Amino acid sequence: SQQGEEDPQALSIQEGENATMNCSYKTSINNLQWYRQNSGRGLVHLILIRSNEREKHSGRLRVTLDTSKKSSSLLITASRAADTASYFCATDVLSGGGADGLTFGKGTHLIIQP
Amino acid sequence: DTAVSQTPKYLVTQMGNDKSIKCEQNLGHDTMYWYKQDSKKFLKIMFSYNNKELIINETVPNRFSPKSPDKAHLNLHINSLELGDSAVYFCASSQLRQGAGGYTFGSGTRLTVV
């Protein structure tokens, strides 16, 4: 079954504003990752946050993780038109053997209006 | 150099045909995956291989058969194609395990069954 649920499903903001997307998941995880997918393209890894981390930054991206609430958020600051894409959270769950792959949420479609 | 490359990029074929999608990674990763993205952009893992050994085989019809001749290649063969197989198929690789890092995805193969 699906692990992650992103919220909102779609978000439209003006260029320069901040965009916040949320993700909830169901089971214990090893790490949580965020990916971007431009229309008609593959997924690009943005950032990974481990289960023992609470916040992580990478350029204009800020990710938080609350394992007690099983939720994560992705903040994109000072958005640009090029940030228009679908954003997915994905969980890497704890397992004995590894190689279980990622479980993806449904994604948030972000539109940056110029 | 492309890290994860899959071919073909587009594949249009008739119902009942057999087709293959090839994937190669030059990252030296141990684990490779096949994901299916449906028309609603939902991504679901199909298979994972670790060092040529099948690790995950999700509930996928046995018309789908992965083959890994070596750890840099993971091909997907589909027999007796059906309309419902139309989707975008992504190959991915990772260095595993337990929080090792993000996954690298190929650019996808858009399969259309007519």
Neighbours of A21 (CB within 10 A): 24
Neighbouring C-alpha atoms within 13 Å toward the C-beta of B111? 28
Q: B23 pLDDT exceeds 70?
A: yes
The pLDDT of residue B101 is 72
Q: Does A101 touch chain B (CB under 8 A)?
A: yes
Mean pLDDT over each residue of chain B, to the nearest integer = 90
Residue B55's pLDDT is what?
77
Cβ contact B102–A99 (<8 Å): no
Residue of A48, A101, A95 whose CA lies nearest to B33 = A101
- Exposed, middle or buried: residue B95 (CB in 10 Å: 0-12, 13-18, 19+)? middle
Cβ–Cβ contact B39 with A under 8 A: no
Q: Are A90 and B37 spatial neighbours (Cβ–Cβ below 8 Å)? A: no
Q: Which tens digit of pLDDT belongs to each residue from B49-104?
A: 887 778 777 778 999 999 999 989 999 999 999 999 999 999 999 886 544 578 99
Rounded to whole angstroms, how far apart are CA atoms A98 and B106?
A: 21
Q: Do A99 and B104 touch (CB under 8 A)?
A: no
* Average pLDDT value over all residues in chain A: 90
Task: Name the residue in chain A with its Cα closest to that of B105.
Answer: A43
